[in-house]
């Protein structure tokens, strides 16, 4: 297993020199400064790769080459954006970068309602409060069809919740939900978010699946030519939000994606925190079933609220409700039959110790991820010795 670390480029408060001290040998990054609809320039790819290698590290995974909303909605500009995407894959492959993580989540990337939930030990964690999300949809976003998507009890709880927010807390909720893709220069303002959601008025689960199939049918051949493995990230959280469909939430979804374009180049990012936020997902069984098409792994855990299981917070990497050890065991067993090491990163992390003094992105502190990576490396070593 190759231990990797997500780095957001030269402006990341966590430097490559520091990453090298964490035990990670691979870097997971992207050219975040390039417009989502543009092909990545060859020179920029090689420049970033050289900077990483100059620090004794390897650019192991691209996370991510973003999929545009035009592609997801099959709207104007879709084919041009897909062509640019395929060109980027060819250029990455030519540069020796062979794994590309991406997602197909409409409008919102991973969504949290609280980016700094206090923990008993003095640290802070990411959290998702389902009722807070309902309140945002009903009373802030004011989506016309929202009321019909929730029960009377959920609407009442959301109404009570929104009354507890002062202006600062209300704005914080808006900012957290509309933040956009990690590493992107900007998310949405409320008006832009509302317009982006409205673009999906006539796109349901089946239509979004077909749009993904259309995308894959055109980019997988480029990935095959380039020797690149595509690895789709699951929905986070794995449930519909704001009336938007989600199509990468469970084993059935993963199986459909792999069969839609049946190629080794079309694979999965196995994120235990994302899949693990749905109690019905058996992650160890999923890891075993899909091991041959898992190209990248995010390991972390969550604890779901017993009263409202759609709410959760991110726990220590070996805590919570996710069977991280069971997943790791399955992946280590499968790795014996691979031709190369499986890249894995400790996903997210608590804000701990000196993290408060660094302007890191939410979920991507130094010390919290260092702790998680150390725990996961120890788990892997223990499993190897016990087998």
**HEC profile of the chain:** CEEEEECCCCCCCCCHHHHHCCCCCEEEECCCCCCCCCCCCHHHHHHHHHHHHHCCCEEEEEECCCCCHHHHHCCCCHHHHHHHHHHHHHHHHHCCCCEEEEECCCCCCCCCCEEEEECCCCCEEEEECHHHHHHHHHHHHCCCCHHHHCCHHHHHHHHHHHHCCCHHHHHHHHHHHCCCCCCCCCCCCHHHHHHHHHCCCCCCHHHHHHHHHHHHHHHHHHHHHHCCEEEEECCCCCCCECCECCCCCCHHHHHHHHHHCCCCCEEEEEEHHHHHCCCCCCHHHHHHHHHHHEEEEEECCEEECCCCCCCEEECCCCCCCCCHHHHHHHHHHHHCCCCCCCEEEECCCCECHHHHHCCCCCCCCHHHHHHHHHHHHHHHHHHHHHC
Residue 153 maps to a domain: no
Q: Can you give the residue range of the structural domain that contains 347?
A: 2-108+203-303+316-386
Q: Is 240 inside any structural domain?
A: yes
Q: For this structure, is 295 an active site residue?
A: no
User: 233, 295, 317, 350: which one is catalytic?
Assistant: 233
Looking at residues 91-103, what average pLDDT do you find?
98
Does residue 131 belong to any structural domain of this protein? no
Q: Which CATH number goes with the domain that contains 282? A: 3.20.20.150
Query: Do the domain assignments include residue 231?
Result: yes
Residue 344 within any structural domain of the chain = yes
Active site residue 292: no
Instruction: Single out the catalytic residue among 161, 200, 313, 364.
Output: 364
pLDDT per residue as tens digits for the range 115-165: 999 999 999 999 999 999 999 999 999 999 999 999 999 999 999 999 999
The pLDDT of 281-297, averaged and rounded, is 98
pLDDT at 206 over 60: yes
To 10 degrees, what angle do helices 324-335 and 366-386 make? 60
Checking if the pLDDT of 184 tops 70, the result is: no
Distances 369 to 6, 76, 345, 358, 375 between C-alpha atoms, Å: 10, 40, 9, 14, 10
* 149 carries an active-site annotation: no
- Which one of the listed residues 188, 235, 253, 298 is annotated catalytic? 298
Does residue 78 belong to any structural domain of this protein? yes
User: At residue 348, does pLDDT exceed 70?
Assistant: yes
Tell me whether residue 229 is in a domain.
yes
Q: Which of 236, 271, 323, 355 is catalytic?
A: 271
Q: Considering the candidates 347, 351, 355, 367, report the single residue annotated as catalytic.
A: 347
Give the mean model confidence (pLDDT) for residues 183-209: 87
- Give domain status of residue 332, yes or no: yes
Active site residue 101: no
Distance CA 257, CA 247 (A): 9
User: 347 an active-site residue?
Assistant: yes
Assess whether the previous peptide bond of 237 is cis (omega < 30° from 0): yes
Domain count, the chain: 1
Residues 234-282: tens digit of each pLDDT:
999 999 999 999 999 999 999 999 999 999 999 999 999 999 999 999 9
364 flagged as catalytic? yes
Confidence of residue 109 (pLDDT cuts 50, 70, 90): confident
Active-site option among 295, 348, 350, 351: 348
């Amino acid at each position: 297993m190759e231990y990797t670390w997500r780095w957001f480029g030269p402006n990341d408060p966590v430097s490559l020199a520091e990453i090298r001290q964490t035990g990670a040998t691979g870097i997971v990054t992207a050219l975040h400064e390039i417009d989502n609809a543009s092909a990545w320039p060859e020179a920029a790819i090689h420049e970033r790769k050289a900077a990483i290698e100059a620090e004794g590290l390897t650019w192991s995974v691209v996370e991510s080459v973003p999929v545009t909303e035009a592609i997801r909605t099959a709207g104007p500009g879709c084919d041009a954006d897909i062509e640019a995407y395929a060109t980027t894959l060819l250029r990455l492959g030519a540069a020796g970068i062979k794994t590309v993580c991406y997602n197909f989540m409409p409008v919102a990337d991973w969504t949290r309602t609280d980016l700094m939930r206090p923990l008993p030990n003095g640290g802070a964690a990411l959290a998702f409060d389902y009722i807070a999300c309902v309140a945002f949809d009903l009373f802030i976003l004011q989506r016309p069809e929202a009321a019909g998507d929730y029960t009377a009890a959920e609407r009442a709880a959301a109404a009570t919740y929104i009354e507890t927010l002062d202006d600062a807390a209300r704005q914080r909720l808006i900012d957290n939900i509309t933040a956009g893709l990690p590493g992107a220069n900007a998310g949405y303002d409320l008006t832009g978010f509302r317009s982006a959601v409205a673009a999906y008025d006539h796109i349901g689960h089946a239509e979004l699946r077909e749009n993904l199939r259309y995308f894959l049918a055109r980019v997988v051949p480029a990935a095959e030519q380039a020797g690149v493995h595509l690895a789709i990230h699951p929905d986070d959280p794995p449930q519909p939000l704001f009336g938007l469909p989600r199509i990468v939430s469970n084993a059935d979804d993963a199986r459909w994606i792999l069969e839609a374009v049946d190629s080794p180049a079309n694979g999965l990012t196995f994120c235990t925190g994302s899949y693990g936020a749905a109690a019905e997902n058996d992650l160890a069984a999923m890891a075993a079933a899909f091991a041959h098409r898992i190209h990248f792994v995010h390991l972390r855990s969550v604890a779901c609220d017993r009263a409202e299981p759609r709410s959760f917070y991110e726990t220590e990497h070996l805590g919570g409700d996710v069977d991280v050890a069971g997943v790791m065991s399955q992946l280590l067993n499968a790795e014996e039959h691979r031709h190369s090491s499986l890249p894995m990163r400790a996903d997210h992390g608590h804000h701990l110790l000196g993290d408060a003094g660094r302007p890191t992105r939410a979920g991507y502190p130094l010390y919290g991820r260092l702790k998680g990576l150390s725990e996961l490396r120890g788990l892997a070593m223990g499993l190897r010795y016990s087998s």
